[in-house]
Amino acid sequence: MLAIFEQILHLLQKPLNRINIKTIFIIFFLYLIFISLCSIAYGILLNLNNQIYDEELNIIFKNISFANGDLIYNLYYKNEYFTEFNNIKFYLQKTPGIPFLIYFLSYFSTNFFFIIIFKNLIIYSLYFYVAYQAIKSANKNGIFFIIISLIPIVIPYNFGVSLNFVYEDSLVSILLPCIFLSLITNYKNKYLILGFLFFVLYFVKTSMFFIIVLTPLLIVIFEKKSLKKFIPIFFSALAILTWGLYGLHKTDRFPILNTSSSINTFVMSYALNQNFHKYYPNKSTDLIPIDKIDTKNFKDEWQFFDFYKSKNDDYLKQNFDRYARDLLIKINFVFFGVKRDGAMPDQNGNFDNSVRLSQLISKIFLNLSICVLIFKLFSNMRKFIYDKKNIFFIFILIFNLMPHLVVWATSKHLIGIINVALIYLFFCLRENKGNNY
């Protein structure tokens, strides 16, 4: 047994481009088996509290939370993408990344375990492929490749969120590190892959807007002279145009930035509330008392949007100091919050805000990566500027956190940037160790 382990270790110490493709496929196969088994276990645990599948294991669309259930149900049975609230049709409540993925998989089978397994096989296969191409192009060894491949897996809470099939962050947690790996390495077709990733990410979560729009501009500025570096800009523009034209066709308004979702102002009204600080981050923001609004006279979803926009503007004018103090609470949570957040009361009305070990580990790595970034900046500014992993990390960090500080962040919102921070740290750790590792 020891001899076999030594042989494997010797093999993985070779540069990745010298490890034969058969070995890589064996590693890939074992990787997918592990993901599949974890998906099954997670699916069983998920169903305990949510009843997402019936006795025949068929998924119950209506029981899927965060409005995704209604969207998937209407896609599957009515062949139309919308939700309905108080007789108002919402065509732009959510970008369609998660609903269309589940809808696509359900066409092959409505078996819950088929859907959750194949959803995870798709996203983790993408991550494995990008990691392989990136590490091989960077001339790192097999051990470094294994480490990078395991980053989304090693922290239990973060891994659990990525296995989920409802949270947008289950996709962001994988897509964002894929983007970062592609940005800091130079493998064949990286610009095409980046374009694809930006296109998909736009339809996954509206808070990724700045990453999708501004990162391609950074590519043009910092990458080598090549017309191919404009490919990501094309795909980002195509995604914005596609969603915008759909919105224009359905609602006579082109959705973009804060209007990319017609409920953005409603969601923002929870953050712009005198009671926000009494709930966030320990209690779920869904528990914040919001004045019920009679929507009978609203003709469409944009009247709903405009009403809450006006309401939010009035709040900010009168309570900007309270919003500023709430911003400090958000900053504290993002960088130092280690307790379970967004809790719902149990049957006795108690909230579980115990320390979550996964969260503690995540925050240590996030802050450590920022400390390394600052150290590298002040130790050699010229070298810092010419090292694109520093540039892309600092901007992705800013672009990712900015929307969450404006509204609010929960633990699951931060997993994507935590994974990016881990990748950055490992690349920094190895950057002076030579090429063959």
Q: pLDDT (tens digit, 9 = 90+) per residue, 334-374? A: 999 999 999 999 888 899 999 999 999 999 999 999 999 99
State the pLDDT at residue 254: 97
For residues 422 and 64, give the distance between their C-alpha atoms in angstroms, rounded to a whole number: 31
Give me the phi and psi of 59, to 5 degrees please: -70, 140
Q: pLDDT > 70: what percent of the chain?
A: 96
Q: Are 266 and 304 in contact (CB under 8 A)?
A: yes
State the pLDDT at residue 293: 78
Tally of CA atoms within 13 A in the half-sphere of 202 that contains its CB: 28
CA 365 to each of CA 376, 413, 422: distance values in angstroms, whole numbers, following the listed order: 16, 16, 7
Q: Which two tokens stand for residue 96?
A: 């369609």
Gyration radius from the chain CA atoms: 23
Q: Are 389 and 376 in contact (CB under 8 A)?
A: no
State the pLDDT at residue 7: 63
Tally of CA atoms within 13 A in the half-sphere of 383 that contains its CB: 9
Q: Residues 45-56: what's their mean pLDDT?
A: 89
Q: What is the mean pLDDT of the chain?
A: 93
For residues 16 and 18, give the distance between their C-alpha atoms in angstroms, rounded to a whole number: 5
For residues 125 and 32, give the distance between their C-alpha atoms in angstroms, rounded to a whole number: 8
pTM over 0.85: yes
Q: Are 256 and 270 in contact (CB under 8 A)?
A: no
Is the pLDDT confidence value at 399 over 60?
yes
Sign of CA dihedral 23, 24, 27, 33: negative
- Alpha helices for 230-356 (secondary structure H): 231-251, 264-271, 276-279, 301-336
CA triplet 405, 131, 215: central angle to 5 degrees? 40
Q: Which two tokens stand for residue 30?
A: 């074992």
For residues 165 and 163, give the distance between their C-alpha atoms in angstroms, rounded to a whole number: 6
- First-to-final CA distance of the chain: 24
Instruction: Give pLDDT tens digits for 125-176.
Output: 999 999 999 999 999 999 999 999 999 999 999 999 999 999 899 999 999 9
State the pLDDT at residue 436: 45
Which of 44-48, 303-307, 365-369, 430-434 shows the lowest per-residue confidence on average (mean pLDDT)?
430-434
Four-point Cα dihedral 273, 278, 279, 282, nearest 10: 150
Q: pLDDT > 90: what percent of the chain?
A: 82
Q: Are 276 and 326 in contact (CB under 8 A)?
A: yes
State the pLDDT at residue 10: 64
Tell me the pLDDT band of 433, cut-offs 50, 70 and 90: low
State the pLDDT at residue 290: 83
CA 420 to each of CA 79, 417, 423: distance values in angstroms, whole numbers, following the listed order: 37, 5, 5
State the pLDDT at residue 2: 56
Is the pLDDT confidence value at 312 over 50?
yes
CA 434 to each of CA 9, 17, 314, 377, 386: distance values in angstroms, whole numbers, following the listed order: 19, 15, 58, 22, 18
Q: Which two tokens stand for residue 385?
A: 């500027």
Tell me the pLDDT band of 183, cut-offs 50, 70 and 90: very high
Q: Residues 204-233: what's their mean pLDDT?
A: 93
For residues 34 and 155, give the distance between their C-alpha atoms in angstroms, rounded to a whole number: 15
